[in-house]
Structure 1
Amino acid sequence: MNIKEKLKFLPQTPGVYIMKDKYKNIIYIGKSKCLKNRVTQYFMPSYAPSKKIVKMVKFIDDIEIVKTDTELDALLLECDLIKKFNPMYNTLLKSDRSYAYLKLNIDEKYPLLECSIKKTDNGLYFGPYCHIKKLDTIAKILSNHFKIRQCKGIQILKGCIKGDIGICLEPCRKENIEEYSFAIKKLIDTLNGYNLEIIESLTTKMERETEKLNFEKALKYKEDIENIKSLINRTRAINFIKNKKFTICSIKIDENLTKLYIFEGIEKIYSKIIVKDNLDLSYLDLKKFNKENLYLIKDDIDLSNIIYNYLNTKSECKFFQADKLDIQQINRLLLKY
């Protein structure tokens, strides 16, 4: 059966699609909530999201699909298969991705915020995050907002340009340890995803420039807001996974079926389809699930973002976190549908 014939029979269900060239090499792996719509899209004449995708489609000779119960299953399976087979076009499309940390050198009297490829000392590190170029931009946005110094090393200077324009507390010209320490505390709260003051401030500036018809400046503030929101979202995803709690999730499949998941960090340790009229979970041995210390490596970052974003954005998904697993809590979750 050729590709055109296969497209006619694709299911409208969640799943993973595996694209192969004429030599049966796997060149790309993707996932979708609706396989038929997503896979068919690649072969539409008007579909050209990037030159790499257009080139890839020319090499597709065969497509395999794996149906899954839910979109979350498809997301998790896609991650596993990409790690296993490392398809060429999955690699090419992510070739610009590398990881780095945001670092505060807290051993210094007036800490500096900077990017670091790896942990090298006792500084305070946040991340790791992908897209180093954006991370440099984000570090500058944060430093300007909280007026953190950006010069390497403290020297007594007669003039400070950043201080003169109000984006530095000028520790090179005046002793202000208390004010500087307070700014660092607010910066740390922001990097931990707790303090959203910077987003409110940037939004106000964007709206002000829009009213003045300074659309170029307004667009710059809009980009800054998006960068900060992306950073905070990724930070929350990492903290969500590293908080040493179980994540219990249920996803509605249809009016009668729900799928139950139990995660320990990013590891799925249990999943089962539950029939609405039979919520008896007495068979579930919760004692065998014991939390362990969780350490995220760089390869886990994408998966932590996938799980966090899915749980927090999909209406068909309900979840909670707990230190211990409890049958009654799980039953209450399933009864929400």
Structure 2
Amino acid sequence: MADPTTYRPAAGTIPTDPGVYKFRDVHGRVIYVGKAKNLRSRLTSYFADVVSLHPRTRQMVTTAASVEWTVVGTEVEALQLEYNWIKEFDPRFNVRYRDDKSYPVLAVTLNEEYPRLFVYRGPRRRGVRYFGPYSHAWAIRETVDLLTRVFPARTCSTGVFKRHRQIDRPCLLGYIDKCSAPCVGRVSADEHREIVEDFCDFLAGRTDQMIRKLEREMTSAAEELDFERAARLRDDVGAMRRAMEKQAVVLGDGTDADVVAMVGDELEVSVQVFHVRGGRVRGQRGWVVERSDDDSMGEQVSQFVTQFYGAQVDLDASVQIDDGRARGESIPREVLVPELPDDQAELQEWLSELRGSRVALRVPQRGDKKALFDTVARNASEALTQHKLRRAGDLTTRSAALTELQETLGLDQAPLRIECIDISHVQGTDVVASLVVFEDGLARKSDYRHYSIRQAAGEGRSDDVASIAEVTRRRFLRHRQDQEAPERPAVDPESGRPRKFAYPPNLFVVDGGAPQVHAASSVLDELGVTDVAVIGLAKRLEEVWVPGDDEPVILPRTSEALFLLQRVRDEAHRFAITFHRSKRSKRMTESVLDGVPGLGRTRRTALVTHFGSVARLREATLEDISGVPGIGMATARAVAAALSGDTAADGTAPDGDVPESADPVYTSDRVEETTGDRAP
């Protein structure tokens, strides 16, 4: 634990101008970013009596080893710079408003010849238009089911679409008129795109004019005695009205606002946002985050608005397409919040610049907006209650687990950074390893690494031990080289970011018992790494092995420390299996295709990349195979012939490959082969 007085700058050297400051730890990593109207006043508050500080602030200043600041011209510039640095450095002591889940959205693939409607979760893509987020996927499916009778757009996957185009027969939705069946040419590409654009216009809020248009057509059809068409139009109008009823009218027509509510206690804050577009609630999002400090409600609002809308604008810019949408389209004209922050004017100016028009930050006082805000606040309170029920004591659990590990293993400090390695292979072939990283008890997936083992592996546990030694050496050799090379500092002087793995973990975990631990420990001794603790977690009895001890450490089954170690080990196991399956699948595909006339390494690689596995390639038609760039029909026939004869009559695969019926069972140290049902 560092003493803040060792790096406290002299008060007279700190400017009184607005600016942004960064705290760094002993390895040069940025652990906290903040802004201030007066840098001297703000930074001086961090170096008061440590006992009087908030627990999280106290932990931050005792973890830090230095502080630096950047002076800017205005508070708006400070706001922008703070957001950019939080996004760039991802400091672990800043509150991170990240969803506890991936909210589903309705995606429309406008970048395809025949656009498709489907439920989607994940990162945004260029050329795809998104509506939402929605709280539940079933809400999207219900809406699409209602509207496809009015806007019969394609909802099938690419594979289904191609298959029905080949057989020249529509799917069930085409027969019941919930799809215009572009796969069989019932409508042209331009006609289908027009249907999809009308669908997007309806979801974007242009509902009244569409309903009026259908009603006029219905009246006209009735006057012409075309009662069948009039009845169909009547049903279409009813479907559109039912879809609109699912989004209750809450505010006047044209209201464009986000309603933000925050409910919290001394440890956590629940945030709920309702997105109101065209007077209707179009989406809802929620977070439960740790309270970073004894900040006021206004300061919390400022932090949330900066991070949330900055990220939304970055997302808009990454998926912008030529359909007239602006870069700041996700920012509404009005943001309703529980309390106005001190930097309200700067926030409004910043949001207005991002949107390109005036944005107001207000507290609702009366009327419909106040009633809606109360509803959002009740949702935030309920979300906080449910979170506490699901994860009782979650905030203290990680701290308790790390403290228990420190005390049990006799470490100098709590293991804030834990790394774990695991080995996977099939009877000594395709040996791979994974390395996962946990910081503050949470997975840090951006630091994950996987390795292809260079040593020739055979059968037996000794090869697992050798593999662990190799991975340990490769991981820490780079760290030692960086330490010994003054021209390669731990922190890149240009970007300000730490170099990859330029700093060691506090605790290094291997999956295994005494032999594996001894192998890793011996490598660290050989490299002269003395500030990293090594342990092993044996899977059968969940024993913790420490180097040099003849008996393992047995943690209680209810131990939070044991639960944390299990999570770390299981994550390393999962990551190793994922990489192993990918590598093994590619090897099997390439081995089956060896010797096919006209199929060299480049074309084999193209087939492997396109289909991904032997099973998928075997199921592909000649047209699918010949559709791969560089593969002609003659080569496709040769590939199909090779695949049809790659299994012998006795069910075994040639060249040592696994037959199609074989189902690999993965364990923490190896992968065993069985046939038939998966072993328990």
Q: TM-score, with normalisation over the residues of structure 2? A: 0.23
The structure with the larger Rg is 2
Q: Relative contact order (C-alpha < 8 Å, sep 6+): which is higher?
A: 1
Q: TM-score, with normalisation over the residues of structure 1? A: 0.39
